[in-house]
Structure 1
Amino acid sequence: MEDEEPLHLGTTIKEQPKSTQKLALLPLVFLIYFEVAGGPYGEEPAVRSAGPLLAILGFLIFPFIWSIPEALVTAELATTFPGNGGFVIWAHQAFGPFWGSLMGFWKFLSGVINLASYPVLCIDYLKLVFPVLSSGFPHYLAVLVSTFVLSYLNYTGLTIVGYTAVILGVVSLCPFIVMSLISVPKIDPARWMSLGEKGVKKDWSLFFNTLFWNLNFWDNASTLAGEVENPQKTFPKALFSAGILTCFGYLVPLLAVTGSIPLDQEKWVDGYFANAAEIIAGNWLKIWMELGAVLSVIGLFEAQLSSCAYQFLGMADLGIIPRSFGARSKAFNTPWVGILVSMIIALAISYLNFTDIISSVNFLYSLGMLLEFASFLWLRRKMPAIKRPFRVPLEMLGLVIMCLIPSGFLIYVMVVANSTVFCVSALLTVLGIMWYFLMKLCKSRDWCTFTTSEGSSEEDHHLVTR
């Protein structure tokens, strides 16, 4: 039997302008790295919640039960359906337009709300140097300006963003490398065996959430697949390389600090690595690490905004949203509407106290991941002979087991959510369903022009059939 060909959707069949520069391997590696990690910043609560030994084991073992399955699913599906939109295309191919639309709504919402936190976090670091930015009008103005500047950088092109991510990644990791090298003579391996200080209660919810959010989002870069040079070969290599970089980026500093400094568990909160750097090497390294944190946040913002914008473009190419929403700039060929919409939503949310909203969006992200695993398994059964440039080397039973373990963790994260999160998540999901039927109504009434699954607009289709 000949290999089936996938139904090409949107950018998979549209010819890109010849001047378009495709994303090469190295910048894609660092974009994936920033989608997932962006540096060791944020892993400190794992030590506070469970002690050094369990934190080390967590970052050593958790990639095998969560990150690797997610990365393998991404590698197979992104190379089989290499179009902008990523997971939206997968759900659309597996279960139809309704589930594709709902997947897009869940994931886009989780992406832009995560995006909203990065300018605020960036200003939180800068206010240590410039106290005037701590509150009031200067704080709000700084968030506004930083959001516009960083969004404009994204507008100038994915290639520029990709190589910027390379520079930001290398520079932000340098202080951790220096700290780790300086700490070597001070390391006492016995400190790694500690389960925590006596009297400090284990916080399992914080522990697992810290691992989850520091080793997540491997699939986000799939929304850029249509912009990648030779995605069938490049994506698996990039995912593998980013995985190695991420694991070492977390483990090496964690081993260095827990092994060289006596444990004071209550101090292990976000930002503790900067204080540890001061203890190990002096104030100069602390300042360098805080600067690295700012650069890391910039990289996180750029990678997340790229993912959101190209997902938006992919949804327009699939006909989930009007074709005009997928417009590209003539100067840089970037999806300027996707960038603008993502920026406006993120900017509006950044001025709110949105703790419960973020928790709710994390809930929706978990729903999206369950749908993604289901799409992966169903496509294996629905299209067994389709050409898969990268194929997870397991049969169906092995694939079910591979997806079942991380799915169990997703269900655990959802079950422990509070009632507010359940209510907000349900409301947002209902809005997503209403959006699908609103778009369906717009199509039936010809209120907007949509792209058909064959890649041409419905307006063009009417011209042909008249």
Structure 2
Amino acid sequence: MSDFSGHVVGAAADSTQSQQYVTIPPDPDDNTCSTPLPTKLSLLPLVFLIFYEVSGGPFGTEDSVGAAGPLLALVGFLIFPFIWSIPEALITAEMGTMFPEDGGYVVWVSSALGPYWGFQQGWMKWLSGVIDNALYPVLFLDYLKSAIPALDSGWPRILAILLLTLILTYLNYRGLTLVGWMAIALGVFSLLPFLVMGFISIPKLVPSRWLVVNLRSVDWNLYLNTLFWNLNYFDSISTLSGEVDNPKNTLPRSLFYALILIVMGYFFPLLIGTGAVPFDRELWSDGYFSDIAKDIGGVWLRLWVQIAAAVANIGMFVAEMSSDSFQLLGMAERGMLPEFFARRSKHGTPPVGILLSASGVVFLSWMSFEEIVAAENFLYCLGMILEFIAFIRLRMRYPNAVRPYKVPLGTVGVIGMCVPPTALICVVLALSSLKVAMVSLVIVVIGLVLRPCLGYAEKKRWLKFSTKADLHSLDENGDAAAATASLVD
């Protein structure tokens, strides 16, 4: 894991601007960047934004125990990070420091495969993120419905989802710095009751309960989707790279610290919950940690866990919406979306991207937990395949490009690193239901058609597109990675 601490590899070379992207001077009448940007994100807020992009705490892991039993759930949250999370975080560290701008993985794929496939990456990953974000109001209400039964269904539930979405959307509008520091406070509050629960549960732990497993009754689809959903999305922070202070150092370090925090935040609560109470497979579903807290510490601890779960979902919502909306801003700066997506509010946030992401959340919030997880996993898998291809292709095509952080493996090594997560992607896709697969493929087809339609709208001048002047690009010969001096200090 020490490899995350990395160093600057290579040096910027004097080179001509790549022709892969056309740079258009700023329009003097365009007020896209007229508002001064807020303070850049520092290390600690970035760690907790990653924490909430990926995790938010153990809430939502209960289904892994219900699907496969305590042993496989515990082993899964120890082994899965090596198969998926660490490779994804390493790739994000290298590529995010190579292209430190909003847009993240869209820029990686565009640089390796061209703008058309970069757009497809942005389309699939943005929808995946919006679908994922639709889950958090659902989880929020699932944890509160035991205390407020009226939130279980009907108009009270619908109104609660709309009100929650409206409030959290406004917080995103008020600024990324506010979101980052709020993530720190919410993260500490969300994890604290599990530390208390751990100390209280020590006399009640029965180690034999951790070994319970029945391979013949495992719901592999739910088990793998739950693991995958809880341990992916490290790459989402890349869409905020342009908002990070000193990204070449801050981004790799934040990914390293966040990975440790996330794995510990999953494993130890599961260790406590499965060891302190008798195993009942039917009970292990969304919100069960609050019942475990009551059995271990009483009603007061249950209430604390319920409140922690609620605020954790708030943290996940605002972090995900930030990455989704800034991704659209980054795509607009690359000329992939109309330029109004690149306009910032007085708080430095992209209001059009925020409103569009919020609308998608409201539209999709009617889906069930399992449907949401399966649908976002399917689209996310397709997007990750493009990321792996882009990562390897850029290594092969531009071996001498400036990489402020570089995964310490050669070409063969990075290909080998991508094999296990690619195999896992194939398994997740194969286990998807026909309904999820068909809906996801329809979405993919829409993206394939949408890009030419936007090009036609630009040609007819129905929509205005432009490209930001100071974007990062690659030298035509692949000998450098700096189109601007901001790649290096």
Output the TM-score relative to the length of structure 1: 0.91
The answer on 1:231 being equivalent to 2:234 is no
Q: CA deviation at 1:115?
A: 1.5
Question: What secondary structure sits across from 1:103 in the alignment?
Answer: helix
Map 1:22-33 onto structure 2 (within 5 A). 22-33=40-51
Asked if structure 1 preserves the Cα contact closer than 8 Å seen for 2:102 and 2:242, the reply is: yes
Match of 1:368 among 367, 370, 383: 383
Match of 1:401 among 416, 433, 445: 416
Question: What secondary structure sits across from 1:41 in the alignment?
Answer: coil
Residue aligning to 1:461: none
The answer on 1:62 being equivalent to 2:86 is no
Map 1:142-221 onto structure 2 (within 5 A). 142-196=160-214, 201-221=217-237
The answer on 1:289 being equivalent to 2:305 is yes
Residue aligning to 2:399: 384
Q: Structure 1 CA distance, aligned partners of 2:204 and 2:138?
A: 36
Map 1:101-140 onto structure 2 (within 5 A). 101-140=119-158
Map 1:251-262 onto structure 2 (within 5 A). 251-262=267-278
For structure 2, the residue ranges without an aligned partner over 5 or more in a row are: 1-9, 27-32, 472-489
Asked if structure 2 preserves the Cα contact closer than 8 Å seen for 1:22 and 1:227, the reply is: yes
Deviations 1:26-77 (A, max 9, x none): 1110110011111001112222222222221111111011100000000000
Q: Structure 2 CA distance, aligned partners of 1:187 and 1:422?
A: 42
The answer on 1:245 being equivalent to 2:261 is yes
Asked if structure 1 preserves the Cα contact closer than 8 Å seen for 2:106 and 2:122, the reply is: yes
Q: CA deviation at 1:89?
A: 0.5
Q: Structure 1 CA distance, aligned partners of 2:129 and 2:427?
A: 21
The answer on 1:81 being equivalent to 2:96 is no
Asked if structure 2 preserves the Cα contact closer than 8 Å seen for 1:101 and 1:436, the reply is: yes
Aligned Cα root-mean-square deviation (Å): 2.4
Q: CA deviation at 1:10?
A: 11
Q: CA deviation at 1:94?
A: 0.5
Q: Structure 1 CA distance, aligned partners of 2:372 and 2:297?
A: 39
Residue aligning to 1:434: 449
The answer on 1:423 being equivalent to 2:441 is no
Q: Structure 2 CA distance, aligned partners of 1:183 and 1:134?
A: 30
Counterparts in 2 of 1:142 and 1:356: CA distance versus 1, 3 Å: closer
Asked if structure 1 preserves the Cα contact closer than 8 Å seen for 2:142 and 2:287, the reply is: no
Counterparts in 2 of 1:357 and 1:37: CA distance versus 1, 3 Å: closer
- What letter corresponds to residue 111 of structure 2 in structure 1? Q
Q: Structure 2 CA distance, aligned partners of 1:10 and 1:172?
A: 46
Counterparts in 2 of 1:352 and 1:140: CA distance versus 1, 3 Å: same
Q: Structure 1 CA distance, aligned partners of 2:174 and 2:35?
A: 16
Q: Structure 2 CA distance, aligned partners of 1:416 and 1:35?
A: 24
Match of 1:336 among 345, 351, 365: 351
- What letter corresponds to residue 144 of structure 2 in structure 1? L
Q: CA deviation at 1:454?
A: 4.5
Q: Structure 2 CA distance, aligned partners of 1:176 and 1:103?
A: 37
Residue aligning to 1:464: none
Q: CA deviation at 1:271?
A: 1.6
Q: Structure 1 CA distance, aligned partners of 2:341 and 2:405?
A: 31
Q: CA deviation at 1:451?
A: 1.8
Counterparts in 2 of 1:157 and 1:182: CA distance versus 1, 3 Å: same
Question: What secondary structure sits across from 1:219 in the alignment?
Answer: helix
- What letter corresponds to residue 411 of structure 2 in structure 1? M
The range that moved more, 411-420 or 65-74, is 411-420
Q: CA deviation at 1:447?
A: 2.3
Match of 2:458 among 443, 446, 449: 443
Residue aligning to 1:95: 113
Counterparts in 2 of 1:248 and 1:354: CA distance versus 1, 3 Å: closer
The answer on 1:49 being equivalent to 2:64 is no
Question: Number of residue pairs matched?
Answer: 452
Residue aligning to 2:429: 414
Residue aligning to 2:486: none
Q: CA deviation at 1:205?
A: 2.0
For structure 1, the residue ranges without an aligned partner over 5 or more in a row are: 457-466
Output the TM-score relative to the length of structure 2: 0.87
Asked if structure 1 preserves the Cα contact closer than 8 Å seen for 2:138 and 2:369, the reply is: no
Q: CA deviation at 1:117?
A: 2.3
Q: Structure 2 CA distance, aligned partners of 1:301 and 1:342?
A: 11
Q: Structure 1 CA distance, aligned partners of 2:240 and 2:167?
A: 22
- What letter corresponds to residue 121 of structure 2 in structure 1? M
Counterparts in 2 of 1:404 and 1:448: CA distance versus 1, 3 Å: same
Map 1:11-30 onto structure 2 (within 5 A). 18=36, 20-30=38-48
Asked if structure 2 preserves the Cα contact closer than 8 Å seen for 1:81 and 1:89, the reply is: yes
Identity of aligned residues (%): 48
- What letter corresponds to residue 425 of structure 1 in structure 2? S
Residue aligning to 2:363: 348
Counterparts in 2 of 1:27 and 1:312: CA distance versus 1, 3 Å: same
- What letter corresponds to residue 386 of structure 2 in structure 1? L
Residue aligning to 1:39: 57
- What letter corresponds to residue 105 of structure 1 in structure 2? W
Q: CA deviation at 1:180?
A: 0.8
Q: Structure 1 CA distance, aligned partners of 2:11 and 2:50?
A: 33
Q: CA deviation at 1:126?
A: 3.0
